Amino acid sequence: MTAQSVDTDLLVIGAGPTGLFATYYAGFRGMRVAVVDSLPELGGQITAMYPEKAILDVAGFPTVKGRELVEGLVEQASTAEPTYLLERTAASLTEDADGVTVGLDDGTEVRAKAVLITAGIGKFSPRPLPAGEDWIGRGLEFFVPSFQPYAGKDVVIVGGGDSAFDWALHLEPVAASITLVHRRDAFRAHERTVEAVRASRVEIVTKAEVSAIHGNGTVESVDITVEGETTTRPAQAIVAALGFVADLGPIQQWGIEVQKRHVVVDPSMRTNLTRVFAAGDITEYPGKVRLIAVGFGEAATAVNNAAVVIDPSAHVFPGHSSEGS
């Protein structure tokens, strides 16, 4: 990876769904766009963690797999002919009267007239399963990028959030058995998904923990401890869906107002820095709702308001896209 110098109108930091839609929209407004992301592929968390997950809250799609949504967004974004700077992290940001200079961790320098941060929750790492430290990649995984490897297996899923229940629901048709283990008898997952899992053949074990893992090279069984009593059951696969630790990283050192690991924005999606905007899950403002659909709207708002910063003769409202078709 060679350091380079990039000059653009808008730099988008984060190539998840919100960043990809912002890229398309910036192209629609005639901007040159560059996109930086620390991951090697486009699509952000969806590509890294949930490519097979059914997404139900995107307008116009009764249901769409994460992978298919990303594919559509990438195709749409390609109309902007963006410069992609993948596997690189935005390390520094300096704003001046004429623009913003962003230094990447490989030495690349990006000069932009405005910046749009769509970094989701920032960099993320999964919370570990205490009993599973020596079994990662040998039957224990944190994410489920494909369902096929679980076909015909006894699967134990640990966790009580949306990911745990989503994967239980999606793996149930292909696995020999699914056991969902959670340390409490209350769940953080969406009530509708919990009800669907309860109605399936998934066994839910609460007030419990996976206390030990056994096997010869790969996982063969687990110990599940419920209120002091331990039982051993077969398991050839374990999914530790215990959430993840998010880190905004260098963004916190850029002079941007941050509140509880989120970037504070005004109604135009502008941060406290004149040329820096934000959209998607990373933003914070009164009444904020963290949905992909909301991120799309915020991306359009941010790009339209950034357009005036980039070119003072431009208008915030560009007209409807259908008018140009």
90 assigned to a ligand binding site? yes
**Does the annotation flag 124 for ligand binding?**
yes
Q: How many CA atoms lie within 13 A of 156 on its CB side?
A: 28
- Whether 50 has a binding-site annotation, put simply, is yes
Query: What is d(CA 73, CA 19) in angstroms, rounded to the nearest whole number?
Result: 9
Q: Name the token pair of 324.
A: 């140009």
Which DSSP string corresponds to 244-267? Answer: EEEE-GGGGGTT--EETTEEE--T
What secondary structure does DSSP assign to 10-42, as a single string? EEEE--SHHHHHHHHHHHHTT--EEEEESSSST
- Cα separation, 184 vs 194, whole angstroms: 14
Tokens standing for residue 71: 């594919």
Q: Which residues are 206's β-sheet partners?
A: none
Is 37 labelled a binding residue?
yes
- Does 38 appear as a known binding residue? no
Residue among 52, 48, 45 at smallest CA distance from 67 = 52
Which DSSP helix (H) or strand (E) runs through 195? Answer: helix 191-198
| Residue 285 marked ligand-binding | no
Query: Which residues, 6+ apart, have CB-to-CB distance to 223 below 8 Å?
Result: 131, 210, 211, 212, 213, 214, 230, 231, 232
Q: Is 133 exposed, middle or buried (0-12, 13-18, 19+ CB in 10 A)?
A: exposed
Q: What are phi and psi of 304, to 5 degrees?
A: -65, -35
Which residue is associated with the tokens 């896209």? Answer: 321
Binding residues for FAD, by number, are 18, 37, 45, 50, 90, 124, 281, 322
Binding residues, by number, are 18, 37, 45, 50, 90, 124, 281, 322
